[in-house]
Amino acid sequence: MQLMHVGRAAVQANKDADAETVAPSAIRCPDPIFGPDGEPMQTVMPRALATDEITSVTDEYVRAAKNAVRAGMDGVELHCASGYLPMQFLSSNTNQRTDRYGGSVENRVRFVAETLEALAAAVGPGRVGFRICPGVAFNGMADADPAGTYEALLKAVDGLGLAYVHLIHIPNSGFDALDLVRANWSGPVIENNGLTQEKAQALLAEGKADAVSFGYPFIANPDLVERFRSGAALARAHNETFYTGQGDDARGYTDYPALG
């Protein structure tokens, strides 16, 4: 189960009326966020977390992880990508703090490192993974040195014995994210993003990744594994229904047919 805190990437319409929006710094997310009716909306100005509040956010992740395992999940994945709260701490443009959680790269990776350490202590390191996407610009990310940031993060958590790092692999100028991970992380690597069956098999055969994951193809193909095995054609995911649906409206979610 993926554990996700959106931080500043939020609109009030998606929250309870009295819910706050918090982030490392009081900097609004410039990208619109889809609201409850599927239409993009302007984000709200976040409140910067006080230093003594940050451990309580980690505690919320820990509580969620314990609940997930209690409910029968095999493990949890801390979502540190896509411009959400952990990535907001990591990125130099969204983290303008002057305390122990901001400034230097060692300080900016501290929140994620401490949260992963706390999750490992709570449910066991073999039940904890984390997801990263160095260099992504989604939700207003613009780190001045993504290679340096993720090198520091990977080195900081490499000794925790975590289950895996889950890499959303995108092109970057000046470095290759998979090479960066392999050079600074000794644990298993899951590769993700834009994979075909053939590309995935080649990555595994060459030992560049230990496992692969699929997103969009699984949305449109509930029997994706069987289609891969049989060589059947893949259905297309309908982007126009990704952020829509009210109540019992299953369109674009559970109405994609299986083979036969």
Active site residues: 84
Q: Which amino acid is at 225?
A: V
Is residue 189 a contact partner of residue 210, using CB atoms and an 8 Å limit? yes
Hey, what are 80's tokens? 């540190």
| Tokens, residue 40 | 């993009």
**DSSP E strand boundaries for the chain:** 2-3, 22-23, 33-34, 40-41, 47-48, 76-79, 128-132, 164-168, 189-192, 211-213
Q: Are 119 and 113 in contact (CB under 8 A)?
A: no
**DSSP track, 5-26:** --TTS--GGGS-TT---EESSS
Sign of CA dihedral 97, 87, 158, 63: positive
Q: In 10 A of CB 88, how many CB atoms?
A: 29
Sign of CA dihedral 107, 144, 181, 198: positive
What SS3 state is found at 96?
coil
Asked whether 118 and 127 are in contact (CB, 8 A), the reply is no
Tell me the pairing of strands 2-3 and 76-79: parallel
